[in-house]
Amino acid sequence: MKKINLIFFLFISVFALAQNENIDSLTIKMCSNFKQTIHLNDSVRIKILNEEFIIPYLDKFSEKDREKNIDNLYFRFQKNCQNFREYLYRVDPPKSDNWLSLDKRPQVKVTDKEISQLKKLENLYYFEYAGEKTIVKTNSKYWIETFADGTNSKLYFNWISHNKFELEFIESNNVGRKNFSKKGDKYIYEVVSKEKDYFWILVTIPGQAEILIFKLFFK
């Protein structure tokens, strides 16, 4: 998902020294604030985030370190805050029907035979929220992603039940992925149904209620 320019309009003037504040602790506070200001205009909500959290945080970094810490803060905030993701979904909706946000869990229709078929596949792909194609190669242990810009992510891949698998983040040289996830972060995927050339996959972040499904294509 692309960054929303509105979020960063105050970042440019920030200069300073390094610091050790925990990003996740900060993003949880930001999320609480963002939820409490839901009745306000979007531009006011973003201004409050900038003035109360983002600028004071970035003031602790040198100018040369500012950009990478902006990325880290943005993607961890996106990962840790469902309200912020819902805001992004509203102001920057998906470019296709490859991703859908649901109000309730869908009925699981996938068959045993179809699950067995998926478990044998090693070459998969899906489309990012913004439309770019991501290539996936799997084996019994790893899930390796190659993105449109040539960068990669590596995750542990483990089936945890009949139609559910878990991905555990290991490492990435992709700007978005390495800032969105940290080593050991886990994500649960549930196979919902199979269509002609893709599976519908439900993804959840442990501890969060958001329900998203996406198309996982096979070759």
pTM: 0.78
pLDDT digits (tens, 9 = 90+) for 195-216: 999 999 999 877 777 888 999 9
89, 117, 122, 162, 163 from 111: Cα distances, Å: 31, 10, 19, 10, 9
Q: What is the DSSP string of 78-114?
A: HHH-HHHHHHHHHHS--SSTTEEEESSPPPP---HHH
Give the integer Cα–Cα distance in Å for 107 and 180: 29
Q: How far apart are CA 155 and CA 143, in angstroms?
A: 5
Name all domains of the chain by residue range, CATH numbers in brackets.
5-91 (no CATH), 99-218 (2.40.128)
- pLDDT per position as a tens digit, 104-159: 999 999 999 999 999 999 999 999 988 899 999 999 999 999 999 999 999 999 99
Q: Are 16 and 60 in contact (CB under 8 A)?
A: yes
